[in-house]
Amino acid sequence: MTTPFTGGCMCGAVRYECSTAPVMTANCHCRDCQRATGSAYVSVLFVPRNAVNITGEVKYYDVKGDSGNILSRGFCPTCGSRLFGKPAVMPDLMGIMPGSLDDPSSHRPAMDIYTDSAQPWDYLNPELPKFPKGPPR
């Protein structure tokens, strides 16, 4: 992924720019992510929080994830686009939803996490490492 990279919400009210490459990428199959997306998983890239410049108002909704830790899910209050995740367990990192990237084709997930909750009808790329719970630390 080239840096800096940019993205934003569907209506354009929220924009962001990240000045560094992701430190981790994953597809999360936990039930919380399934409910939040209405799909089988969420793909996410994690970057240092201090490397992201956000313009526009972002609303955050705190949930207790499958890990038992709080995750703040950030979205545009105008169009509802999911943009960010701020996991309490990783206070220096934030997640960016790759679908919000201006060029989402550059995203490459490196692992599948919370595969214990993966739906049987979902295809998991056999080339990616699988972790039954969260990512390795």
Cα 115 from Cα 101, distance rounded (Å): 25
Q: What strands lie across the sheet with 15-18, from one edge to the other?
A: 5-8, 15-18, 52-55
Cα 37 from Cα 18, distance rounded (Å): 23
- The pLDDT tens digits of the residues spanning 81-134 come to 999 999 998 999 999 999 999 999 999 999 999 999 999 999 999 999 999 988
Among candidates 72, 57, 43, which has minimal Cα distance to 11?
Answer: 57
Q: Which two tokens stand for residue 92?
A: 């220096």
Cα 42 from Cα 39, distance rounded (Å): 8
pTM exceeds cut of 0.85: yes
Domains, the chain, with CATH or none: 5-131 (3.90.1590.10)
